[in-house]
Structure 1
Amino acid sequence: MWGPGLTRSPEQQRIVAELTPDEADTVLVKWRYSAFHRSPLEQMLKETGRNQLLITGVYAHIGCMTTATDAFMRDIKPFFIADALADFTRDEHLMSLNYVAGRSGRVVMTDELLPFVPATKAALRELILPLLDESDEPMDDENLIDYGLDSVRMMALAARWRKVHGDIDFVMLAKNPTIDAWWALLSREVK
């Protein structure tokens, strides 16, 4: 019924370059629909004090949905990432989302999980301009407070960016509230 699987076609076993694990990644062999079956996944979660599992992948209505339900049965909170799951058809994809949402986990989108940190200085500028009271646009080295940026909005930005750069806080942003200074903070390599 199942055939030989991927082992018959080594060229289909390769992982695309963007998803190739590095030496710091943990790779688990998945034997059945549930990622917990015949794997150390549950033990690894317990040993690291984790009780939540983010689920992404292909065949949402098969392995991903089964893993979510199995996680729930093991008192692990599954988060089913709707826009990071694929399936054969739209109907099967929607069925899996509805099943998990109604029975065993929480369905979320990637933007709910990943903090938004602008990828370019231009993107930072686009994020900041709507927060200003002034119609004039500041130069990148001008004080944003002079253009109406208030402390509440600055605190919200600090909280968002701290998720990626743990050292960013309100004081750091307030000391030098310019697009240039903030871009210098945000464009650092994440450690």
Structure 2
Amino acid sequence: MTALPTLIDYAAPLPPARVLPDSKARWDLDPSRAAVLVHDLQEYFLRPFDRACPALTTTLDGTARILAAARAAGVPVFYTAQDGDHSDRGLQGDLWGPGMRAVASDTAIVPEVAPAPGDRLVTKRRYSAFAKTDLAEQLAAAGRDQLVITGVYAHIGITATALDAFQREVHPFVPADAIAAFTHDQHVRALDIVADSCGVVTLTDAVVGRLAPVAEESGWEAVVRDALTRALPAAALTSALADPEADLFAVGLSSLKAFELLDDLADAGVDIDFGELVRRPTLAFLLEQGRMPAQR
């Protein structure tokens, strides 16, 4: 029986240092067909990582960005989490021992990617998120046959879930910078298996771009939403979208991110002075600026 490792610390195999494997599947991610699955990002499973581990920090950041884009686009979000119930541990107990305890310090989903109202929790019993759960039925009921999978561990549960999704006619999409394994080599192996046999290996930027695209039919609202997705933490974006008059600085926009936000909007054709934003730092203000081209 092997326990979880300790002090996991590696950099994810990402461009430009490493080219992503070429996926045999050529599916396009479609927001009307997609759901997001946050896989096992619980305190117990992240405790083995050095909290400064580059692979972990990119996983949490990438997952948060994907969540923000999904929620803004109305894409369903699912979480897997074990609950510390050992009554149905099965063969996993032979390999990993009793696992987590039924206490919040083990079972809690880490705050960086915490569930929001409306997200759905799937209690997980095996490697695959589909095994002994109703995830497949929930996806079907929501009319979703594509699944973006983020979290840990890339070479175990995420690979098993991607393979299982494929066999259930669900398209798996795995962002290489939003998953983490025990080691660099195991991360590489997970990406290779998915790309070779069951899904699309991609990156967070590509997923966010597909879930919350700057689309012609959505106009300026989509431009602003996409820029805010890059500038705000996930929880702050949810607050801003829910209340267009909310103070963006109060909910989490930093001055540095504000300048980046204004640069993005300028690239889209609307120049907004930082001082104007400071005087009225709201989503409603930003939306108004794109509707007044003659005054700019």
Tell whether the structures are fold-level matches, with TM greater than 0.5: yes
- Which of 248, 256, 263 in structure 2 is aligned with 1:126? 263
Residue 37 in structure 1 maps to residue 93 in structure 2: no
Higher Cα radius of gyration: 1
Cα pair 1:72 1:105 within 8 Å, conserved: yes
Cα pair 2:266 2:272 within 8 Å, conserved: no
Cα pair 1:51 1:75 within 8 Å, conserved: yes
- Which of 247, 250, 273 in structure 2 is aligned with 1:140? 273
Corresponding residue for residue 173 of structure 1:
290
Counterparts of 2:131 and 2:180 in 1: how far apart (Å)? 21
Aligned positions of 1:66-145 closer than 5 A? 66-114=160-208, 115=212, 116-118=226-228, 119=231, 120-127=257-264, 140=273
What letter corresponds to residue 68 of structure 1 in structure 2? A
1 or 2 for the larger relative contact order (CA 8 Å, sep ≥6)? 2
What is the CA-CA distance between 1:10 and the residue it aligns to?
A: 5.4
SS of the aligned residue for 1:34 comes to coil
Closer, same or farther in 2 for the Cα pair 1:123/1:40, shift >3 Å? same
Cα pair 1:77 1:105 within 8 Å, conserved: yes
Question: Identity rate of aligned residues, in percent?
Answer: 39
Counterparts of 1:69 and 1:82 in 2: how far apart (Å)? 16
Counterparts of 2:295 and 2:199 in 1: how far apart (Å)? 42
Counterparts of 1:139 and 1:117 in 2: how far apart (Å)? 13
Counterparts of 1:6 and 1:177 in 2: how far apart (Å)? 60
Q: Deviations over 1:134-176 (max 9, x none)?
A: xxxx6739xxxxxxxxxxxxxxxxxxxxxxxxxx8xxx83642
Instruction: Compute the RMSD of aligned alpha carbons.
Output: 2.9
What is the CA-CA distance between 1:126 and the residue it aligns to?
A: 2.3
Corresponding residue for residue 135 of structure 1:
none
What is the CA-CA distance between 1:131 and the residue it aligns to?
A: 7.0
What is the CA-CA distance between 1:110 and the residue it aligns to?
A: 0.8
What is the CA-CA distance between 1:15 and the residue it aligns to?
A: 2.3
Q: Deviations over 1:76-116 (max 9, x none)?
A: 00001111101100000011011101110001111111144
Closer, same or farther in 2 for the Cα pair 1:125/1:91, shift >3 Å? same
Cα pair 2:149 2:158 within 8 Å, conserved: yes
SS of the aligned residue for 1:27 comes to strand
Aligned positions of 1:16-27 closer than 5 A? 16-27=110-121
What letter corresponds to residue 133 of structure 2 in structure 1? S
SS of the aligned residue for 2:121 comes to coil
What is the CA-CA distance between 1:128 and the residue it aligns to?
A: 5.0
TM-score (normalised: structure 1): 0.66
What letter corresponds to residue 127 of structure 1 in structure 2? D
User: Is there any run of 5+ residues in structure 1 with no aligned partner, and where?
Assistant: 133-137, 142-167, 180-191
